[in-house]
Copies of this chain bind each other. A is one copy, B any other.
Amino acid sequence: MRQIPTLAPLPARLPDSVPFVGPETLERQRGAPFAARLGANENGFGPSPRAIAAMQAEAGEVWKYGDPTNHDLRAAIAAHCGVTPAHVVVGEGIDTLLGLAVRLMVAQGDRVVSSEGGYPTFDFHVTGFGGELLRVPYRDDRQDPQALVARAVEIGARMVYLCNPDNPMGGWHPPEVIEAALAALPDDILLILDEAYAEFAPALPRIDPDDPRVLRMRTFSKAHGMAGARIGWAIGAPVMIRAFDRVRNHFGVNRIAQAGALAALADTAHLDRTVAQVAAARDRIAAIARDNGLTTLPSATNFVAVDCGGDGDFARAVLTALGDRGVFVRMPWVAPQNRCIRVSCGPAGALDAFAEALPHALAMARQGASGG
């Protein structure tokens, strides 16, 4: 048996754990597909038919690499967001853009502030590049912008991460709260404002696109229904956007995704319909919860946190029992948020399956909790 080449010191001490287990793995474990895929905040209302047609038309052209500058898409995004193309970098989804941003900013031992129970993939990147992660608790089930910035200032952080609207709880902060937090941010700390759920928010903060302290992350995965296409963007000051060229995979974005994204952005009617369908689905999830004696949290996203009325173990039991009945959901990973399960908005059939499974799942969990 040969000796194994030693990994570099940093990767050598990284944990083997991964941020998320995918539903396909769970399906293989249970030996059957899920009837309702409501766990990953995917958008079951699907992409614009125009985006689907554009992707299908591009399939035959996939022998060509995509444009490494993402020229046309950046121009369209810039027009859509009221900035210039120099303010936009396109990447293989927010996950990749978060990794690149962390790599640009964080050296070993540098401090980064996020929320206790915030997005695990951001934490994965910070740990992966040797950063020290400091976590601020949620406050009233929402991330706490003021406390995040205050903590970053206090400990001399290099970056601070804020997701608004929030994942996994679904809440949001009105523009003036985000703007006030930004006003308190010193010049030498970078704010990552993850706006994956922006299209579902009632309003977004006004931020000077030339402000080098902020990178706003956006995606085609949620409202545009293209999670599997792996395409998103960041908006920031041109000097920060240019820095991505130092580390990104220039030919990394899928050509079919580029074509689909361009078409999706143009189909504003489909986006409006999606936002309305998602709002109706949120109401339906709240009604299903109510029918089962449960409450839900206000949501400005395409998912709803359902308070199962117990502790994390109880919610976990509900989640497991839902999974056994073919309904895939996820849940927050720290207390007290983990009293909830997180249910993605989806079409009627998927919510019917959830409505049918929930009473049984609650009964199973209560049976377990009473030692039965």
Contacts and interface: CB of A to CB of B under 8 A. Distances in A.
Interface of A: 2-11, 14-16, 18-20, 22, 24-25, 28, 37, 40, 42-47, 52, 55-56, 58-69, 71, 92-93, 95-96, 99, 103-107, 110, 128, 158, 187-190, 211-213, 221, 225-230, 237, 239-240, 242-243, 245-247, 249-257, 260
B7 A243 contact: yes
Given A4-B212, A212-B4, A107 B249 contact: no
Contact of A225 (B63, B128, B242, B245): B63
- Looking at chain A's contact residues, is the secondary structure mostly helix, strand, loop, or mixed? loop
Contacts of A65: 22, 40, 42, 221, 227-228
Nearest to A243: B7
A2 to B, nearest CB: 5
A229 B62 contact: yes
B62 A260 contact: yes
- Say how many copies of this protein the assembly contains: 2
A47 to B, nearest CB: 6
B47 A62 contact: yes
Contact of A250 (B18, B28, B103, B189): B18
B252 A96 contact: yes
Given A2-B212, A59-B260, A243-B7, A254 B237 contact: no
6 closest residue pairs by CB, A with B: A228-B255, A24-B67, A55-B59, A14-B246, A62-B228, A3-B187
Contact of A230 (B221, B237, B247, B253): B253
B63 A43 contact: yes
Nearest to A215: B5
Contact of A93 (B6, B46, B221, B252): B252
Contacts of A255: 227-229
Nearest to A246: B14
Contacts of A22: 65, 67-69, 250-251
A8 B93 contact: no
